[in-house]
């Protein structure tokens, strides 16, 4: 009974997630796209390397956009990425607001039509 097992640390090998402000920004955009009639469903996946928010036009198909947060790329290309339906990276950067800009512009075109 002299063996002491250390308690696992919170940041060591845990999962990546969105903080409150990041999720609020993403869900605000999602809500506006839903009210414009463009998106109908979403999914979130949080793993060890990335947190991913996927937005769908219909729930039975591939996501139209994926918003990925990969903290390991923070000092290289930027931890945020906007990935298109075919898997191509449309925008990458350090700030979430800049990465969401192409979707924001698309929303403006949808609302104007």
Give the number of other CB atoms < 10 A from CB of residue 80.
22
Statement: residue 12 has pLDDT above 60? no
Contacts made by residues 3-9, CB under 8 angstroms, sequence distance 24+? none
| Percent of the chain whose predicted confidence (pLDDT) is above 90 | 44
What pLDDT score does 14 carry?
A: 78
Digit-coded pLDDT (tens) for 48-90: 999 999 999 876 778 899 999 998 888 888 899 999 888 899 9
Residues 6 or more apart whose CB falls under 8 angstroms from that of 106 comprise none
Task: For the chain, give the mean pLDDT.
Answer: 85
What pLDDT score does 7 carry?
A: 60
In Å, what is the CA distance from 60 to each residue of 25, 31, 35, 42, 57? 25, 19, 20, 11, 9
**Does residue 54 sit in helix, strand or coil?**
strand
What pLDDT score does 112 carry?
A: 62
Threshold 0.85, pTM exceeds:
no
Please answer whether residues 56 and 43 qualify as being in contact, where contact means their C-beta atoms are separated by less than 8 angstroms. yes
What pLDDT score does 9 carry?
A: 55
């Amino acid at each position: 009974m002299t063996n002491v097992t250390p308690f696992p640390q919170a940041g060591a090998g845990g999962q990546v997630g969105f903080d409150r402000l990041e999720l609020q920004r993403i869900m605000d955009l999602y809500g506006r796209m839903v009210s414009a009639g463009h998106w109908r469903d979403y999914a979130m996946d949080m793993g060890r390397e990335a947190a991913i928010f996927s937005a769908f036009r219909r729930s039975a198909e591939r996501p139209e956009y994926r918003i990925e947060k990969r903290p390991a790329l923070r000092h290289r290309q930027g931890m945020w990425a906007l990935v298109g339906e075919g898997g191509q990276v449309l925008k990458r950067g350090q700030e979430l607001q800049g990465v969401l800009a192409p979707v924001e512009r698309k929303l403006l075109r949808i609302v104007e039509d």
